[in-house]
Structure 1
Amino acid sequence: MRQPLFRAALAAALLSAAACATLSPEDQALQGSYAALSAAVAAPHRTPANTARDQYRHPLETLSFFGVRPTDTVVEIWPGGGWYTEILAPYLAQGGGRLYAAAPDWGQSGIRKLKEASPQLYGNVLTADFPAFDANATRVPNGTADVVLTFRNVHNWRMGYRREDKQDYSPEAFRQIYAMLKPGGVLGIEDHRLPESAPVERERTSGYLKTSTVVRLAQQAGFRLAGSSEVNANPQDTADWPNGVWTLPPTLALKDKDREKYLAIGESDRMTLKFVKPR
């Protein structure tokens, strides 16, 4: 498994410290960011059901690979119930950063619940519409985000999820993400991975996407692929299940049928891709 770049850089910094006794300001910032992120992942406020999934979602390694710093302005696209928000909100608040939760109105209920239940942790989380089709929508201001993150959502845009016409609006979603990022900003994507040899039609029904599809969509919007990580890979996932990716945990769409089999496989095989908006 490939080591995340952020973690590798930290290891190099620590080795340098052993040799030179002192860290450079850049290495000190790197070490401090990693320590703060580790603390956010281990924080007691996180929901036990969420921490139980760390073994599949690898939040420390994933966010380290994307290079999220505590001083960043971060946009989390479609945060759902706030699995990553539980980590990002206190991490960014501690460092003076800013977090946007961007979703359609129907997709912001989870964030509203977090803000109401724990205003001291999530009260500063900003909300925005995404995708923003309405001229009066609340948008993330163009050119203001250091990092945009989206976890297991691109397949929804490709499928036309929750849109009556089932129209694929992934190109427009990538265009809007590109606009909100600063030059040099990072787009981090994690999604269920479809083998490149599989029929492309399965992207519209299975919840899985080919890596080449995601790379093409990002590049068409103007992004440059900066790296990929296998931190969220699962070679036991063959991506050919009867109810698509939802056959596997945590959904377990078949309920008790072959439940132990799917629990043994674990959560899906996922691509983890880092893109950069050129300067």
Structure 2
Amino acid sequence: MRPFLFVASAALIALTAACNAPSSRATAQESAGKGEDAIAAAVAAPGRTPANTARDRYRHPAETLAFFGVKPGDTIVELWPGGGWYTEILAPLTRAGGGTLYAAAPAGRLKTIEAWRTGKPDDYGAVRLAEFPHKGGAKVSDGSADVVLTFRNVHNWRFGGSDNTVEAFQQIYAMLKPGGTLGVVDHHLPEAMDSALEEKSGYMKRSSVVGFAEAAGFKLAGESDINANPKDTHDYPGGVWTLPPSLAKKDVDREKYLAIGESDRMTLKFVKPAS
């Protein structure tokens, strides 16, 4: 009887797995679809700042967040929000979806983000604050984040030196759950160009970003041309800030740089291994 029971049990297990697999795939696809719909709704929200929405054609927020696999119920950490361009999308996205958004920045920058929360509590009141890089203040707990996002910041860490960049990626790795995602968008320096430009131009080589991430333990999971710009020549005396939106040269060759548009950007997705 034992061989018969074993065969019957094995067959039952195989049948159950076969029946469940399509259902699991369908559920995952349905979840992803709902996530993309929620992202699209947040991007299309009428409360967004007009100056921000004007840049959607360069920053492609819906496509970028969908590529990174962002879901409304995630615990998301946005590093160094700057002017809050993406925060304006992520805050309502997580609020409506039952997720959590951390704005993580140096202590001095957190004062500005706190002002957003005070000035627009309906929009930003639920945003949590954390110091990054962590120097002893409030922090994102280790192993708590589903997604960490950083938009055009790695070059800033690089200006502070390789050691600072190494530390930044190590702290990001620590705050993510196993299997969690790191999404990086930054100004792209072609591999054939002089690496010294990384120290002053605002552009970074893909190999440099991947190297810092992999040294911290991340695996490259995908990359996209969503935010690429083939018109960008990457070789301006004033660096990337020559292009819009900064237009550092003001009226000098303004139309030329407006015609180029915003910078050529790499969009890289990394994962923290699940085990």
Q: Which of 43, 64, 67 in structure 2 is aligned with 1:65? A: 67
Unmatched tracts of structure 1, length 5 or more: 1-22, 161-165
TM-score, reference length from structure 2: 0.88
Using the TM superposition, give the Cα deviation of residue 110 of structure 1 relative to its aligned residue in structure 2, in angstroms. 3.9
What residue in structure 1 maps to residue 254 of structure 2? 259
- Equivalent positions of 1:36-185 (< 5 A) are 36-132=38-134, 134=135, 136-160=136-160, 168-185=163-180
1:261–1:168: structure 2 CA closer, same or farther, 3 Å change rule?
A: farther
Query: CA–CA distance in 1 between the matches of 2:255 and 2:234?
Result: 17
Output one character per residue of 1:20-42: Cα deviation in whole Å (capped at 9) or x when no partner.
Answer: xxx93333222211111110000
Matched, 1:242 2:253: no
**Paired residue secondary structure (1:108):** helix
Tell me, yes or no, if the aligned pair for 1:80 and 1:110 is still in contact at 8 Å. Answer: no
**Paired residue secondary structure (2:70):** coil
**Which amino acid is 2:79 matched to?**
I
Output one character per residue of 1:188-226: Cα deviation in whole Å (capped at 9) or x when no partner.
Answer: 000000010111111000000000000000000000000
Query: CA–CA distance in 2 between the matches of 1:27 and 1:168?
Result: 40
**Paired residue secondary structure (1:169):** helix
What residue in structure 1 maps to residue 263 of structure 2? 268
Tell me, yes or no, if the aligned pair for 1:82 and 1:110 is still in contact at 8 Å. Answer: no
Query: CA–CA distance in 2 between the matches of 1:44 and 1:108?
Result: 26
Query: CA–CA distance in 2 between the matches of 1:243 and 1:149?
Result: 27
Using the TM superposition, give the Cα deviation of residue 178 of structure 1 relative to its aligned residue in structure 2, in angstroms. 0.3
Query: CA–CA distance in 2 between the matches of 1:24 and 1:273?
Result: 26
Query: CA–CA distance in 1 between the matches of 2:260 and 2:88?
Result: 26
Matched, 1:196 2:191: yes
**Paired residue secondary structure (2:77):** strand
Query: CA–CA distance in 1 between the matches of 2:26 and 2:194?
Result: 50
**Paired residue secondary structure (2:257):** helix
**Which amino acid is 1:137 matched to?**
G
Unmatched tracts of structure 2, length 5 or more: 1-24
TM-score, reference length from structure 1: 0.87
CA RMSD of aligned residues (A): 1.5
**Runs of 4 or more consecutive aligned structure 1 residues displaced over 4 Å after TM superposition:** none
Matched, 1:29 2:36: no
What residue in structure 2 maps to residue 208 of structure 1? 203
What residue in structure 2 maps to residue 233 of structure 1? 228
Using the TM superposition, give the Cα deviation of residue 112 of structure 1 relative to its aligned residue in structure 2, in angstroms. 2.3
| Larger radius of gyration between Structure 1 and Structure 2 | 2
**Paired residue secondary structure (2:132):** coil
Query: CA–CA distance in 2 between the matches of 1:261 and 1:172?
Result: 39
Query: CA–CA distance in 2 between the matches of 1:200 and 1:129?
Result: 30
- Size of the aligned set, in residue pairs, is 251
Query: CA–CA distance in 1 between the matches of 2:220 and 2:88?
Result: 28
Using the TM superposition, give the Cα deviation of residue 55 of structure 1 relative to its aligned residue in structure 2, in angstroms. 0.5
Tell me, yes or no, if the aligned pair for 1:81 and 1:110 is still in contact at 8 Å. Answer: no
Query: CA–CA distance in 2 between the matches of 1:275 and 1:167?
Result: 20
